[in-house]
Every structure is written in structure tokens, then in C-alpha cells.
Chain A
Amino acid sequence: MDHLLSLMTFIPLLGMFVVLALPRDNAKLIKITALAFTIPSFLLGVWLYQNFDRSLVTMQFVERFQWIPSFNIQYIMGVDGLSVTMLLLTALLCPICVLAAWEIDKGVKGFFALFLLLETGMMGVFAALDFFLFFIFWEVMLLPMYFLIGVWGGPRREYAAIKFFLYTLVGSVLMLVAMLALYFTNDPHTFDLMVLMDKAPTYTRAFQSWAWIALFIGFAIKIPAFPFHTWLPDAHVEAPTAISVILAGVLLKMGTYGILRICFPIFPLATQDYAFWALAALGTWNIVYGALCAMAQEDMKKLVAYSSISHMGYVMLGMATLTPQGINGAVLQMFNHGTVTAMLFLIVGVIYDRAHHRRIDGFGGLASVMPVYTGIMTIAFFAALGLPGLSAFISEVLVLLGAWQYNQAITVIAASAVVLTAAYMLWMLQRVWLGPVNEKYADLPDVDMREKIMLVPLAIIVMILGVYPHAVLDLMNPTLVALNGIVRDATPAVAALQ
């Protein structure tokens, strides 16, 4: 297992070529092939989960060789507690998404080829430890996403795809600038994130500040943080279900992952300076604002999209607190949001496949029509509104607990969103699933086996993590506590003053 991470990353890419070589008209074969190429990554992820040394703070499963020696660009892959969580989430969601995309009948070959490329990009972002490599994967992931939304999306797909693409590209440009600045600041020039991290005390505060902001804007667009969030509802509404799941489940995490992976350890001083306004205050605003906006939505997907904005606010708030609880809660929230929101989008997708619309007011009484579906939906909804005993509660309470020590007033505002979250979730639940049966949809079929296979595992994970969160917390706790310490204890070094 010397090349575990590379295998996880590039098996889907291999799958892409295989899919491309398959005959265009055999859709079933293409789908099965795509599924077959996402499963090895998932199984490797399971192996990784079992063999990951939970006591280490350092990088594990590191692979390193020179890639472009003349520019000192290396191919470095490795995982620590932070990235392993995200990698596992990606590996888990991808097979589920292939299942979710099973009903796609237009351009099947292209869809699954792009999807597999997307998976490679996502895995690579989380596994790369060289900034250049990171950037490459970041961009690799962007392209298939553009086409997946722009070609297989809803009626306004082109608008949404271009908006998504341009927005992310703006972020990429800023990231590129900061990346090059970092590269040239160090002597010898390097993109190696671990070296950059070690050199952190030598960066001046001024340099840290502007580089931090440039990177932050790039990542904030991805999170998405107010006011850069408006691409998200559009992208979600237009994207096909599977892509929404990936978008909410994995792509949003890249923003917060980037902040934790790059901004935090490399620019600790700037992080201290900006944590309050850029992360805590903005995160809290995200929480409340997202929740209030969600309440007013008429489209199920848009509601879930705004709920994502709200839930990602917890991640920002948690990491800003610089407490062990807050930062653990933040990363756990990333994982939990990945599973819970994936469920929510899959649930909306199930009903959209049947009724071909998503208007909240257009349904009613589905609980009587589709009982199994309703049962699973209830778990997802209550997880999303933070019911104790389900996964999201743990992360939210950890974030809020950490935040309380950090700033009480902000915590009170953020915590008040539990009421709003419950309000919009239950209101939607009531309008769609409860009440008198809408005769138009009185004979919708309940979830079939394929839909159960994609929903039930997530539901089980959501329940298990609510009771035994250490299944994931143990993975990341040492890394995050160390990271937290790096940032919290950073002081302007002598070298920086010279």
C-alpha cells in the first residue's frame, strides 16, 4: 500500500479512459463501469480508515517524487487527520452519486467520464501536499463540474454553470497569486506545503496579511461565505441530483479545508488577526442569514442550498474559535454536513425524479404515499436541524461550545439559529410530506432498492456518529489540536522582524 493515495486518486481517472473506450449506446455498461471504478477508491478508503494511525500528528502514507525538478515542483501526497476525513467522505459519496445518477439518459458516456474525472480532482485536492499539485487538482475538478452542470443541468444551466465557473475561477486566480508569492518568498523556491508550514515564522505580518486575504477570498467563494454565496443556490437548482450531492457534500468542504490546510498553518499570525471578522463574525452571519433565507424559499433544492450556507457557517465559526472543541467541531461538521446534506439532496432528487418539479407547495401528504421514503427523510431532516443523537448535533454543539469560550455574544446569535433551522426544516417537512394527500401524487411509488442503497448507508452513518462520534473524531483530534496550537501560539518571530 505504498501508493494508496495515488491509487485512490487515479483509479477513477483510469475509469474515465475505460468509459471513454466503451460503446456510446450501451448505457448500462457505462454506468456499471463507472460504479466499478468508484468502488475501489471507497474500499481503499475503508482500508485507510482502519490503518490510519490515530495517534500521529504528522502526515501519513506520504508519497513523494520530483515532478518538474527545474521549478522544484514535487508530487507529494499524504494525509493527516484533517484530510483523511475529507478523503473518506469523498470516497463514500462518489459511489452513492453514481447510483444517484443512474437514471440519466442523455450523454451517458460523457456524464460518467466527467464524473470520474471530477472524483480524481476531488481526491487529489484532499491528498495533495504540494501547493502546485493542489492547485492543479483544484482546477482539474473545476472543468468537469462546469460541463456537468452546464450540459446535464436544468433550464438555466448555462447561466448557473458560467456563474459557478467564473466565481471559482476568480478564487483560483487569487490563490494562484498567493501561491506564487509564497513560492518566490522562500529560498530555495518551493511549493512543498510542509516546508512552507515550517517556514511560517519567517513570513512578515504584512505578507501574511495580504496572502491570507487573497487565499481566503478564494476559499470563501467555495465555502460559500456571504457575500460570495449566490452561485450556490443557482448551481444547486440547475445541477442534476448527483452533482448537487457532490457540490454540497464535497466541493463546499474544499473551501474550509483549504483554509485549515493552507491559511491556518502557513499564515498563523494573519489567522489570528482575521479570525474574528473573516471567520467568526462572517460565519455567524452565514448561519443566521442562510437560515432566514432558507425559510423563504419555494424550491426544495434552493432551501437545502441555503441550509448548506447556514451549516457551513458553523464550520467557519468553529475554526475561528481556536479551541480544540471548536476546530474539531468544525471538521466534524464538514463531515456531517457532507453526509446529511447529501441525504437531503438525494431525498429531493427522489421526489424530483417522480414528480419532475420541486416546488414545496406543489406536494402534500407524501408521508401517506411513500412511508419508507418518509422515514428516511425524517432522519435526514432531524439530523439537519441538529437533533441530539444524530450526527450534526455533535458537531454543532462542539462548535458552539468552543465558540462560547471565544465570544459569548456571537455564540448566542449563532445558537439562535437552531430555532430558525428547526422552523424551515419542519415547515418544509409539513408542506411536502404531511397534510392531506395531494391527489395528483397519490400513486407515486415508494423508494426502490437502488434509492435505498444510496440513502440507508448515509442514514446509518448519521445515526452512528450521533452516538459514537469518536469513530471520526479520533481520526482528526490529534491533528487538529496540534494545528490549533500552531495558530494559537504563533508569535511574530525574530526573523520576521528583521
Chain B
Amino acid sequence: MVEHAVDTVAVSSSLRWICLLPAIGAAINLIFGLRIQRSIGRLAVAVLGSGMSLAAFAIVVMNFLTLKGMAPESRLLTDHLFTWMNIGALDVAIAYQFDPLSAVMCLVITGIGSLIHIYSYGYMDHEPALWRFFGLLNLFMFSMLTLVLGENVLLMFVGWEGVGLCSWGLIGFWHSDHNNTTAANKAFLVNRVGDFAFICGTFIVFWTLVAEGHGTLVFREMAGVVQHLDGHTLWGIPVATLATLLLFIGATGKSAQIPLYVWLPDAMAGPTPVSALIHAATMVTAGVYMIGRMNFLFSMAPDTLQIIAFVGATTALMAASIGLTQFDIKKVLAYSTVSQLGYMFLAMGVGAYAAGIFHLVTHAFFKACLFLGSGSVIHAMHHEQDMRRMGGLRRYMPITFWTFFISTLAIAGLPPLAGFFSKDEILWKAFLSNPILWGIGACAAFMTAFYMFRQVFMTFFGEIRADHHTVEHLHESSAPMTMPLVILAFGAITVGWLGIPHALGGNNLFEHWLEPVFAASHIDAHGKGGAHATAAGAHGDAHAKSGAHGQAGTHAEAAPDSHGKGGTHGDPAHGEVSHGEGVVGGEHHDLTTEYLLMGVSIGLASLGILLAYLMYSANRLNPDSFARIGGGLPYRLSYNKYYVDEVYNALFVRGAIRLSRGLAWFDAKVVDGIVNLTATITHAASAFNGAFDKYVVDGLVNFTANTFDRAGGALRLVQTGSINAYLYVILIGVTLTLLANAW
């Protein structure tokens, strides 16, 4: 079955170059970059880095066009390089696959990535280690592209941790500052916690599939056999649920969700282009992508999806509430990123995978634009990041202002900008799943509008609050920086039009494009079989038509079983998720509700903007009076990020350090102590033994000798040395002998 699928997919050997070109760029820049920079110039380094990225973009576009020209159900390109690990049941290859989902991700990564490469050349204009910066950016591109192009879980994991490495290197790029490197380490370690869960989740799936005789880690093959997970449990939990939960914990690490979001705000220590590329547009969306990629698996675990939805919604709200009170221009954006990622997870959790990915794309545009805009501001303000020292900048840097403003409108969710369509799609799907989720999401949307406009007003409006010296040097940024801003702002306006929902007269191109990938979640209520066959094949209709395909029939028969437990079809008994699915199928549409909800969210956004205007521009309301609500406690909680960092520090970091110190003490004193004690005891025993030997054993020998010695000493007195005495003795002796003879 699996072999058939492999045989029929189209091969595109250009896929490898999407990954390899940035890798080559990274290798050259990291090894020879310093020499190139010194001998040829800074531009050469930048051109190399950007050029590789742009070339990758070109190849992606080329493949995208190829993909577009194919029939929707067979849209898949693969490129097999060589076997990576083939041991026993494990058989994974270095191989890439390019399907609609990968295509979207690749376009975003290489497209926005290239823009940010160009921007970086302007932003890092005084950086001596430019070569290292571009090398790491290219390495990041390589890792991220590996993540989205890898055809199996382990190759994805290579990218997954690879982006972590690059993120570490770029957060700590200015490594002479201790805070930066600490932030970098924190990011890596928190991600590692997630990765640990991720790898465990992978193992569960793999071994359960092996037990069923279908051991594979290739996504498109897993999609075909994943229904075999049904009925397996581990530690009393269904395997699908446990595995997806673990994978999701991995995603919370990479995508900064509760409980592992803490690293992202700190990650802002990196250069701003890095924050834009890695910590807003691409890397942090890896978790969302991963869930999308394994949607067939997640769809089997409604419990996990519930958790994901709630975690996403809660994260959206919590991060937004922290964003309300921050003063660091990048921290606000960081929390906004966490919050927006929460929306994406909310979408994934309610089974609206396409909506989640859609938000990922639009968010990539407007958030990249916002970060680059903030970078432009920071650059002009000589690395000042505190919004309290800004203000009125729109007069000095109009392009930055306008692009920033457009993106802010987009993130606030005002039509017809990109954010509106994607966010509303999510909120609508959330509402269908569970109105509480919608409520949380809407609340977060209101806060988003407020804090984003608070930022705009504090930064660009009013009077400038910077010192005289800084004001004198204020200037609009150079062309390499403004050009990407303009393009991204344009994207922030238009990208949303790709996914105008049916309710608004659009035809949701985006969702249709992704349909083959998320076919598993598109199991319709009409009971067409074989719908679980995903990327590898087609969706239900295609299978039903191709009667010659023997396996299709099998799929169709097997399908009801998996549906029953997977909860992914329209069975009302299976709660919210199934509702969501039904909607995706486009059946039970309640148009009035949808319009109403759109109205509500536009209203909330407007309210947030108005409030921000009143507080920070018109000065009608005093922010401080709001800060004092509830005795100032809510404000303090928000301002101090709910003290989560402190709690984690006390619990985990100090705990681990204490434990390690304790164990090191144990090792040095107890374990080694025992060894040394053994040595001491042996030493003492040998001393005792030595004494025994010396005084008892040898004593006996000496005693014998001494006895004879003393006896000899006594006898020797006979030997007087006096000749006369000897003669007397002789005389007596002779006399006695004679007398004896006489007897």
C-alpha cells in the first residue's frame, strides 16, 4: 500500500536545493565570512546570504507553480536523497515532500525570509560580525525549510531543533551582554523541554504502528495507517491522545504557548530582524505547522484537541493581558506574538486547521512588518526601546509609520485587512465548537486592538519624549529597510483576500488550496468513504471515483471504525469537534450568526482602538486610574507577567541547580567517600596487618633467635679469658675423667 503511494507521487529533484542553497550560504558565511567581509566587503556577505534566500524563494515559487498545475488530489512532489537511518523497523530517509501545506510554509519562509535578509543589511549597518549574522540567518532558513519540507517526523525534528540552535545563536548574537546569552539559553532549554515531549510522542506513535505492522514515520504513509492506533492504550490513556498531547507539549515549547511561552519575550534580546523572522513570522509557527502536518493524528484525539483549543485561547488572553502594560516596544510585540499564536492553536484545537494556517500566514506578514517597523524605530532612536521615550515619530519616519499603522490595523482585526479574515475565521470556528472559546478569543481580540494602538499612539503620535541628541539624529531608515516594510504592509492588506469566507461572497481560496492536506478533517457528514486518505492520495471523491484503486475500497471500509473513536465526522455524540468539522464541510452554516459575530469582533476592535485613543492620544482618560483598579493588583500582575518567570525560576531552575549541587556533593562525599573510605580501611587494615606481622609473626622468629642469643650470652661468661681458669677447668675435667675411669 505504502509502496504504491510512493511510486505514484511526482518527483522534483529541485526540492533539495530549497534547503541546500541556504545551507551552502550558511557554510560559506560561517567559515569564510570574516575573510570575505574584510577582503571584498560587507555587501558581499549580505548579497551571499540574501541571494541564497532569494534563490530558494525562486525554487519554491517554481515548485509551487508545478504543484498548482497538478490535480488537487495528487498535489505532491517528493525528493528522495538517501537513506538516513535504516535499522530494524525504523526506516527514515533524507527526503523532502512538497505539498500544499509545505508550499504555503515555504513561500512564507523564503518570501518573508528574503525580505528580512535585505532589511538586515540596512539594520545591521554597523555590525562588525555581519558575516556571522547572515550565516546564522541562512542556517535558520535551512533548518526551517527542513522542518517544513521533511517527509518524516525525524527529519522534521532535525529542523525543529535546528531552528532552536539558530534561535539560540541569534538571540545571543550580541554575546558580550550576559542578559542576551541568558535569554538565548533560556529559549533553548525551554524548547528542549518541549522537544523531549515531542520525541516521546513520536516514539509512542512509531512503536504502536510497528506493533500493527505499519512502522513508519513518513507523514503521508502514517496518514494511511494511523487508524490502527485505535484501541491501543499506554498507561491507561489512548495512544493517540497521549501521543498528540506529548507532541502538543513540543509545540508549546516551539510556539510559545502556556506553559512554555516564557522564553519568547526574553528572546527579544536578539537583533530585531531576528525577532521578526524567527520569533514572529516563522520559527514560532512551527508548532502550528506540526499540528497541521499531523492533523490526521490529532483528529483522532478529540481530548487533545480540546486541550489545545483551551490552551490556545488561554494563552491568547493571558499574553494579551500582559501586553497591555508593557513599555518595551519589542516586548509588546512579543506578547502580541504569543497571543496570536494562541489564536492559531485555538484554530487547530477546534479542528479548523486551514484557518489556523491561514492566520499563520497573515500573521507572518503583519507581525514581520510590525517587528521590522519597530526595528526601524529602534534603529533611528539609537537602540532605545522604551516607548515612554518615544512619541511623535510619524513626522520623522513616515514610511515606517504608515506601514506600522497598516499592520496594526491588520492585527487589530479591522476589515478588509488580512488579520480580520483570518482571525474572524478562527473565532467563528471557535464559536461553533464552544462559545466559551469564542468569548476568550474575542476578549483577547479587544485587548489586542487596545495594546497595539496604545503602542502606535505612544510611539508615533503626540510629542517626542526623547532627549535632544536623539531627536537631532532622527531620520527615516534607508531603502533596504523601508522596501521590505512596504512589501510586507502590502501583504498585510492583501493576503487576507486569499481567504475571504463564503459568507462574505469569497470562495476561500486558501482553504481549498489546503484541502488535500486536511482531508482527514474534512470528513463530511454524507458518509463518503475513504476520506482519511490524506496527502498521499486524495480526498474521498477521488477515491470513490478511482474504482481501479484496490486500496481505496479498503480504506472506505476501514473508515467507519476510525471515525467512531476519532470523533472527526459529523456524529453529534462527539461534541464540539465534530460540530466544527460539520461546518468545514459547509453544511450547517448559520449565516446570520456569522455576520453577527463579525460585527461583534469589529465592534470590540474598534472599542479597543477608541479606548487606546482616549488614553494615550486624546488624554481624556488617565491610564493611571485604570492601573489602580482593584488596588493595583491586576496592573501589577500584568506588568510583572504574572510572576511566571519568578515561579519557574524558583521551582525548576533553582530546583535543578540545587539537585545537581546536592548530587555532586553526594558524588564527591558519599560515592567517592565510600571509595576513599575503602581505601582508608584497606590502609588501616594493612597498617594493622603490618603491625601484626612485625610484632607477632616476626616476633616469634625474633623470640627464638633472642632465646639462643641470651643463652649464648649466659654461657659465654664461662669464657673468662683467664688462662688459669681454663687450666683449672681442664684439671678438674681430667681428674673427673680419671675418677670415672677408675670406677
The reply to whether chain A is a binding partner of chain B is yes
Residues of A with C-beta under 8 A to B34: 371
List of 6 A-B pairs having minimum Cβ-Cβ separation, nearest first:
A324-B88, A296-B664, A295-B660, A388-B158, A230-B672, A404-B203
Residues of A with C-beta under 8 A to B667: 230, 289, 293
Residues of A with C-beta under 8 A to B600: none
A227 touches B660 (CB 8 A): no
Q: List 9 A-B contacts (CB under 8 A).
A: A230-B675, A296-B657, A296-B660, A404-B204, A422-B188, A426-B189, A434-B175, A435-B176, A477-B87
Q: Is B30 an interface residue (CB 8 A)?
A: yes
Q: Is B728 an interface residue (CB 8 A)?
A: no
CA of A174 to CA of B182, assembled, Å: 48
Q: Kindly report which residue of chain A lies nearest to residue B162, judged by CB atoms.
A: A389
Q: Is B172 an interface residue (CB 8 A)?
A: yes
Q: Is B234 an interface residue (CB 8 A)?
A: yes
B664 touches A328 (CB 8 A): no
A426 touches B188 (CB 8 A): yes
Give chain B interface residues in 631-665, CB to chain A under 8 Å.
656-657, 659-661, 663-665
Q: Is B681 an interface residue (CB 8 A)?
A: no
Query: How many Å from the CB of B134 to the closest CB on chain A?
Result: 15
Given contacts A430-B181, A434-B172, A470-B86, contact A389 B663 (CB under 8 A): no
Q: Kindly report which residue of chain A lies nearest to residue B673, judged by CB atoms.
A: A230
A404 touches B207 (CB 8 A): yes
Footprint of B on A, CB under 8 Å?
Answer: 163, 226-227, 229-231, 289, 292-297, 323-325, 328-329, 365, 367-368, 371, 375, 382, 387-389, 393-394, 397-398, 400-401, 404-405, 408, 411-412, 415-416, 418-420, 422-424, 426-427, 430, 433-437, 467-470, 473, 477, 481
B87 touches A325 (CB 8 A): yes
Give chain B interface residues in 210-225, CB to chain A under 8 Å.
210
Query: How many Å from the CB of B36 to the closest CB on chain A?
Result: 14
Query: How many Å from the CB of B180 to the closest CB on chain A?
Result: 8
A430 touches B185 (CB 8 A): yes
A387 touches B162 (CB 8 A): yes
CA of A422 to CA of B657, assembled, Å: 13
Residues of B with C-beta under 8 A to A437: 176
Residues of B with C-beta under 8 A to A470: 83-86
CA of A400 to CA of B199, assembled, Å: 9
Given contacts A289-B663, A296-B661, contact A415 B200 (CB under 8 A): yes
Q: Is B195 an interface residue (CB 8 A)?
A: yes
B199 touches A415 (CB 8 A): yes
Residues of A with C-beta under 8 A to B657: 295-296
CA of A436 to CA of B609, assembled, Å: 43
Residues of A with C-beta under 8 A to B200: 404, 411-412, 415
CA of A427 to CA of B168, assembled, Å: 12
A-B contact count (CB 8 A): 153
Footprint of A on B, CB under 8 Å?
Answer: 30-31, 34, 82-90, 94, 154, 157-158, 160-162, 165, 168, 172, 175-178, 181-182, 184-185, 188-189, 192-193, 195-196, 199-200, 203-204, 206-207, 210, 234-235, 656-657, 659-661, 663-665, 667, 671-672, 674-675, 679
B188 touches A405 (CB 8 A): no
Seed contacts A397-B154, A411-B203, A430-B172; 5 additional CB < 8 Å A-B pairs? A292-B660, A292-B664, A296-B663, A420-B656, A473-B85
Query: How many Å from the CB of A168 to the closest CB on chain B?
Result: 13
Residues of A with C-beta under 8 A to B83: 470
CA of A388 to CA of B147, assembled, Å: 12
Query: How many Å from the CB of B335 to the closest CB on chain A?
Result: 25
A226 touches B671 (CB 8 A): yes
Residues of B with C-beta under 8 A to A367: 175
B192 touches A467 (CB 8 A): no
Given contacts A426-B189, A430-B181, contact A397 B199 (CB under 8 A): yes
Residues of A with C-beta under 8 A to B162: 387-389
Residues of A with C-beta under 8 A to B160: 388
A419 touches B193 (CB 8 A): yes
Residues of B with C-beta under 8 A to A227: 671, 674
Query: How many Å from the CB of B290 to the closest CB on chain A?
Result: 15
Q: Kindly report which residue of chain A lies nearest to residue B667, judged by CB atoms.
A: A293
Q: Kindly report which residue of chain A lies nearest to residue B665, judged by CB atoms.
A: A296
Q: Kindly report which residue of chain A lies nearest to residue B652, judged by CB atoms.
A: A419
Which of B161, B207, B675 meets A163, CB within 8 Å? B675
CA of A398 to CA of B84, assembled, Å: 12
Residues of A with C-beta under 8 A to B85: 394, 398, 469-470, 473
B154 touches A365 (CB 8 A): no
Residues of B with C-beta under 8 A to A382: 165
A419 touches B196 (CB 8 A): yes
Q: Kindly report which residue of chain B lies nearest to residue A405, judged by CB atoms.
A: B207
Which of B176, B188, B193, B195 meets A436, CB within 8 Å? B176
B656 touches A415 (CB 8 A): no
Residues of B with C-beta under 8 A to A325: 87-90
B181 touches A388 (CB 8 A): no
Given contacts A293-B660, A422-B192, A434-B172, contact A230 B671 (CB under 8 A): yes
CA of A206 to CA of B157, assembled, Å: 46
A398 touches B87 (CB 8 A): yes
Query: How many Å from the CB of B667 to the closest CB on chain A?
Result: 5
CA of A227 to CA of B679, assembled, Å: 15
Given contacts A295-B656, A296-B661, A371-B34, contact A324 B87 (CB under 8 A): yes
Which of A231, A328, A415, A436 meets B196, CB within 8 Å? A415
Residues of A with C-beta under 8 A to B177: 435-436
> Which of B34, B162, B182, B667 has the most chain A CB within a 10 Å cutoff?
B667
Residues of A with C-beta under 8 A to B168: 426
Residues of A with C-beta under 8 A to B158: 388-389, 393
> Which of A226, A292, A418 has the most chain B CB within a 10 Å cutoff?
A292
CA of A297 to CA of B661, assembled, Å: 8
CA of A473 to CA of B665, assembled, Å: 39
CA of A297 to CA of B663, assembled, Å: 11
B178 touches A423 (CB 8 A): no
CA of A254 to CA of B206, assembled, Å: 33
A473 touches B87 (CB 8 A): yes
CA of A411 to CA of B90, assembled, Å: 17
CA of A418 to CA of B197, assembled, Å: 11
Residues of B with C-beta under 8 A to A226: 671
Given contacts A434-B175, A435-B181, A469-B84, contact A422 B663 (CB under 8 A): no
CA of A200 to CA of B675, assembled, Å: 35
Given contacts A227-B671, A297-B664, A470-B83, contact A388 B161 (CB under 8 A): yes
A292 touches B671 (CB 8 A): no
Query: How many Å from the CB of B531 to the closest CB on chain A?
Result: 31
Residues of A with C-beta under 8 A to B193: 419
> Which of B84, B94, B660 has the most chain A CB within a 10 Å cutoff?
B660
Q: Kindly report which residue of chain A lies nearest to residue B185, judged by CB atoms.
A: A426
A293 touches B664 (CB 8 A): yes
Given contacts A297-B664, A389-B162, A426-B185, contact A292 B192 (CB under 8 A): no
Query: How many Å from the CB of A408 to the closest CB on chain B?
Result: 7
A387 touches B207 (CB 8 A): no
Residues of B with C-beta under 8 A to A389: 158, 161-162
CA of A216 to CA of B690, assembled, Å: 33
> Which of B86, B185, B193, B204 has the most chain A CB within a 10 Å cutoff?
B185
Residues of B with C-beta under 8 A to A477: 87
Residues of B with C-beta under 8 A to A401: 90, 203, 206
Query: How many Å from the CB of B253 to the closest CB on chain A?
Result: 10
Q: Kindly report which residue of chain A lies nearest to residue B156, judged by CB atoms.
A: A388
Q: Kindly report which residue of chain B lies nearest to residue A430, judged by CB atoms.
A: B181
Query: How many Å from the CB of B160 to the closest CB on chain A?
Result: 8
Residues of A with C-beta under 8 A to B181: 430, 434-435
> Which of B89, B192, B656 has the most chain A CB within a 10 Å cutoff?
B192
Q: Kindly report which residue of chain B lies nearest to residue A474, judged by CB atoms.
A: B86
CA of A389 to CA of B154, assembled, Å: 10
CA of A227 to CA of B82, assembled, Å: 42
> Which of B83, B85, B94, B675 has the most chain A CB within a 10 Å cutoff?
B85
Query: How many Å from the CB of B287 to the closest CB on chain A?
Result: 17
Query: How many Å from the CB of A490 to the closest CB on chain B?
Result: 19
Residues of A with C-beta under 8 A to B188: 422, 426
